[in-house]
Every structure is written in structure tokens, then in C-alpha cells.
Amino acid sequence: MRRMSMTNMPKPATIDEASQIGRTLALAFDDDPMMRWFFPDEPAAPESAGASDGPGGAGREARLARYFSTIFTRQYAHHGVCERTDAAAAFWVPPDAADKAVPDAATVEELSVILGDRAPLFRQAAEAAAGEGPTEPHWYLAVIGADPAAQGHGHGSALLRSGLAKADEAGLPVYLESSKPANLPFYGHFGFTVLGEVQLPGGGPTLWPMRRAPGGGRPAGA
């Protein structure tokens, strides 16, 4: 049985916690339309084959966890602001790191192995999303997610407030893309507004770019 006595106090995320963070985000994004598109359900392996399905002999959840731990350890941990609680994690990119947080060739190669035949779609989607980003200095919320088992305990909200406070202190807007329509009201509660819709190439899901003005839309009591 999963313990529920988990603190939602944000703390810095360190590289030695990569496996835990990867597992947490794999659970958080299990039903996300974009992650479902990049990591579709795979046919059950024959009984004799055990649980080794998909590229690299890993199941979907394991590949999702490896994806998130890879972008954390190779990308955001070095050039972003990464925080976690006991059941959630968030990766932010401040404006002075925007050009450094782009995956290098080695990271792209590792992600391609994890994504398998979905790697070209991933690259196209990343390019399409990047083309929608603002040119003004801003904080970028790259990833935020909480284990569904801890839903309602304020883990995601605590991490979001922590990052927004840093952006507000700098007097800068915040930008994100959501691929899950159910999350739009949540972000709206924190002052984000939808800028439009982006249909990802190759028949992919819709992305909703969102922007929050500096210091704008603080929820009551925040």
C-alpha cells in the first residue's frame, strides 16, 4: 500500500533522485495525451517473453520514467530550476538559461532510443512547440506533475507557487504548454491565459500555449 503521509514542501531536486523523479512523473503523465502519443500502449508480450516489450526491452511506464529521468539529468538539472515534493516534480527554465536548456546531440540520441519509432514525431512536435514560444524574457515551466495517488494534497500547487514566486520576484511573465485540456482551469486559477491552439504535426494532439503576466492572477490566499 502506498503511503500518503507525504510532505508537499518544495525542495531542490538533485541528480541522485533522478530515478524517483522519473517514476513520479511517469505516473503523473500516464494519461497525458501527448505522452500517450509519444509512448502509445503496446501489445501485451507473449507469456514466454515476460515483461520486455517496446524498445530496449522496457514496458511503457519504465520508458516514460527513463524519458523523464533523462531530460532531468542531462538537461534541466544543469540549466534549469528543478524542485520536487515527496510526490511531485517541476522543471523550470529561467530566461538566462533558455538557450542552454535545449537538448544536445547526445541527449537527442538517448531520447531517440527511448522513443523508438516515435522519435521523428517527437522532434517534429518539439520544433512546432518551440516555434510558438514568446520572444520576450520569461520563465518557462517545462514539466510539472504529481503522482495521482497524492492528488488533492497540494503537491502540484506548491511547486507551481514556488516557481511563480521566483518569476514574480524578477518581474517576468511565465509561459507553458499544456496538452491536457482538463489542466487548463487549474492553470487559469493561477493567472494563466490561453494564447491559442497548436495542432502537433503527424496527427498529434493539441497543445495550448499559456502565459501568465508578471505578478498576475494570484489565487486568493496564495
For residues 158 and 161, what is the distance between their CA atoms, to the nearest angstrom?
5
**pLDDT higher than 70, residue 46:** no
Any residues with CB less than 8 A from the CB of 135 and at least 6 apart, and which?
none
What's the pTM value of the predicted model, to 2 decimals?
Answer: 0.87
Residue 6 included in any domain: no
129 lies in some domain:
yes
Classify residue 35: in a domain, yes or no: yes
Query: Tens digits of per-residue pLDDT, 83-133?
Result: 999 999 999 999 999 887 777 888 889 999 999 999 998 888 888 887 778
Cross-strand partners of 98: none
Judged by phi (left if over 0) then psi (alpha if -120 to 50, else beta), residue 152 lies in left
Q: Tell me the helix, strand and coil percentages in the chain, rounded to 5.
A: 45, 15, 35
Proportion of the chain above pLDDT 90, given as a percent = 70
Task: Evaluate whether residue 2 is within a structural domain.
Answer: no
Residue 217 in domain: no
Radius of gyration of the chain (CA): 17
pLDDT computed for residue 43 by the predictor: 54
What is the extent of the structural domain holding 145? 11-212
| CATH number of domain containing 137 | 3.40.630.30
pLDDT value of residue 65:
97
Structural domain includes residue 169 = yes
Question: Which pLDDT value is given to residue 45?
Answer: 47
As to burial, measured by CB atoms within 10 angstroms (0-12 exposed, 13-18 middle, 19+ buried), residue 41 is exposed
pLDDT at position 54: 43
Domain count of the fold of the chain: 1
Q: Is the pLDDT of residue 138 over 70?
A: yes
State how far the Cα of 197 lies from the Cα of 76, in Å rounded to an integer.
26
Q: Binning pLDDT at 50, 70 and 90, where does residue 27 land?
A: very high
What is the band of 216 on the pLDDT scale with cuts at 50, 70, 90? confident
- Residues 42, 53 contacting (CB under 8 angstroms): yes
Question: Does 68 fall in a domain?
Answer: yes
Residue 189: predicted pLDDT = 95
CA distance 9 to 119: 35
Residue 112 lies in a domain: yes
Q: What's the confidence (pLDDT) of residue 56?
A: 40
pLDDT beyond 50 at 47: no
